């Protein structure tokens, strides 16, 4: 296929990342902003040895699940990939993508292991944090998202994914000429919203003495340093908390071990569910300090919080009795390091929860864990990031 060539096709499925997949002359073509079953004329935009990319020119038949995108930047901004599809349909597409990834990885869950996906509401206005970038063009200040070319910044007046209070704060600042003049090329502006404090913002990094944020949970409050990680979707976080609490209720562990603990979210869930003893491990020292504070507030008299490496913490559990312990790991997008995976399979733990925001690295780790003697007992997709290409996985393993 040649760049610029137009062709007719039908979309076979939507792949991870949000593009529609068509086959033309036996070659795979990826076409964004299309849905399965749609027939269209497309134009080739890029050619690779094993696939091509194209853009839709005009549609002959559209999907009944297609809706009008609720954003003027859709198609330019790479953040939202499913604004043209109904939310329930989007969640179904992601579930199909998970099934494809399991098959490609050679993972075949036993009957009943793969559970129905969870679709937290609302699908818009849910993000408690966004980061905008500054670009100066001919005396004009652009404040927005970096586009798909990783260079261009499109000026953003409002983001449909952001909480309404964040968009209100953004509108207020955009109307303040002195604020716009204070921004410099390459600067980041982070907007953060909590129920307790409303919307706030900072340039580049938060002040070192910035007051901790307070996040409201269904069962209490957590303090969060401004620069530390916290789930961006409150409803999605509550769905994960429900999954953890259900396993605690079923297994009744005496001890809860929380690796990549952040500010202690899942440890707080465990304490609220009645677990007597918690161990939290987090590499970010500010988050670890907040975890100590939070867990004391949730009733832990002497919470064991380690500001250190998860793999090293796992190695220390190798010879410890762990039959009454429940481990939770919630690593960043890179997943478990090989060192951490080997320490986990070499430990005495007989069960653990693995929460992942990257199905590709989860599948890689799942193969390692299966070879190490663990069996997948539960896998559930949580659509933590509606309208984007991403989703969360909740899995439970035993041996």
pLDDT tens, position by position, for the chain (399 residues)?
899 999 999 999 999 999 999 999 999 999 999 999 999 999 999 999 999 999 999 999 999 999 999 999 999 898 999 999 999 999 999 999 999 999 999 999 999 999 999 999 999 999 999 999 999 988 899 999 998 777 889 999 999 999 999 999 999 999 999 999 999 999 999 999 999 999 999 999 999 899 999 999 888 999 999 999 999 999 999 999 999 999 999 999 999 999 999 999 999 999 999 998 999 999 999 999 999 999 999 998 788 999 999 888 887 776 655 668 999 999 999 999 999 999 999 888 889 999 999 999 999 999 999 999 999 999 999 999 999 999 999 999 999
Instruction: Return the percent helix, strand and coil in the chain, to nearest 5.
Output: 25, 30, 40
pLDDT given at position 321: 57
Gap between the Cα atoms of 123 and 103, Å rounded:
28
Supply the pTM of this predicted model. 0.94
Token digits for 321? 């009795």
Residue 210: predicted pLDDT: 94
Give yes or no for a cis peptide into 263 (omega within 30° of 0).
no
DSSP 3-state of 205:
coil
* Per-residue model confidence (pLDDT) at position 316: 77
Q: Report the alpha-carbon distance of residue 385 to residue 11 in Å, rounded.
A: 24
pLDDT for the residue numbered 152: 86
The pLDDT score that the predictor gives to residue 237 is: 97
Are 31 and 42 in contact, with CB atoms under 8 Å apart?
yes
Residue 311 confidence (pLDDT): 85
Count the neighbouring beta carbons within 10 Å of the beta carbon of residue 133.
18
Q: Which two tokens stand for residue 382?
A: 């949580």
Measured between alpha carbons, how far is 277 from 80 in angstroms, rounded to an integer? 41
Q: Exposure pattern of 177-200 as b/e (b: 16+ CB <10 Å)?
A: eebeeebeeebebbbbbbeeeebb
Name the residue among 19, 81, 167, 30 with its Cα closest to residue 391: 81
Long-range contacts of 86-95, Cβ-Cβ distance < 8 Å, separation of 24 or more: 87/119, 87/123, 87/386, 87/387, 88/119, 89/35, 89/65, 90/123, 90/383, 90/386, 90/387, 91/117, 91/119, 91/381, 91/383, 92/117, 93/14, 93/36, 94/381, 94/383, 94/391, 95/381
Nearest residue to 155 via CA among 79, 82, 73:
73
pLDDT of residue 23: 97
């Amino acid at each position: 296929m040649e760049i610029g060539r137009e062709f007719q096709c039908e979309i076979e499925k939507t792949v991870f990342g949000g593009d529609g997949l068509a086959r033309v002359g036996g070659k795979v073509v990826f076409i964004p902003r299309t849905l399965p079953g749609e027939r269209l004329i497309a134009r080739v935009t890029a050619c690779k040895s094993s696939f091509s990319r194209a853009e839709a020119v005009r549609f002959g038949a559209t999907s009944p699940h297609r809706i009008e995108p609720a954003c003027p930047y859709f198609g330019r901004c790479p953040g939202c990939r499913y604004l043209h599809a109904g939310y329930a349909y989007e969640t179904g597409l992601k579930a199909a993508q998970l099934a494809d990834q399991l098959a490609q990885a050679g993972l075949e869950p036993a009957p009943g292991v793969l559970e129905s996906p969870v679709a937290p509401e609302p699908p818009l206005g849910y993000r408690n944090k966004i980061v905008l970038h500054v670009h100066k063009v001919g005396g004009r200040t652009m404040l927005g998202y970096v586009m798909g070319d990783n260079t261009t910044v499109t000026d953003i007046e409002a983001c449909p994914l952001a909480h309404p209070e964040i968009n209100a704060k953004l509108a207020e600042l955009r109307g303040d000429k002195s604020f716009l003049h204070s921004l410099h090329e390459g600067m980041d502006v982070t907007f953060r919203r909590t129920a307790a404090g409303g919307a706030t913002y900072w340039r580049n990094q938060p002040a070192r003495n910035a007051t901790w944020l307070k996040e409201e949970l269904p069962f209490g409050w957590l303090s969060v340093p401004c620069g530390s990680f916290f789930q961006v979707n409150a409803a999605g976080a509550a769905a994960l908390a429900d999954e953890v609490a259900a396993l605690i209720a079923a297994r009744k562990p005496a001890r809860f071990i929380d690796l990549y603990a952040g500010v202690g979210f899942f440890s707080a869930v465990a304490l609220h569910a009645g677990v007597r003893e918690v161990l939290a491990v987090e590499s970010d020292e500010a988050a670890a300090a907040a975890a100590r504070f939070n867990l004391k507030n949730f009733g832990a008299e002497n919470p064991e919080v380690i500001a250190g490496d998860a793999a090293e913490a796992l190695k220390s559990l190798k010879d410890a009795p762990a039959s009454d312990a429940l481990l939770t790991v919630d690593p960043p997008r890179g997943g478990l390091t090989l060192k951490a995976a080997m320490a986990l399979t070499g430990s005495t733990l007989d069960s653990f929860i693995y929460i992942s925001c990257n199905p590709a690295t989860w599948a890689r780790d799942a193969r390692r864990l299966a070879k190490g003697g663990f069996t997948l007992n539960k896998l559930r997709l949580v659509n933590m990031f509606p309208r984007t290409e991403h989703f969360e996985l909740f899995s439970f393993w035993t041996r």
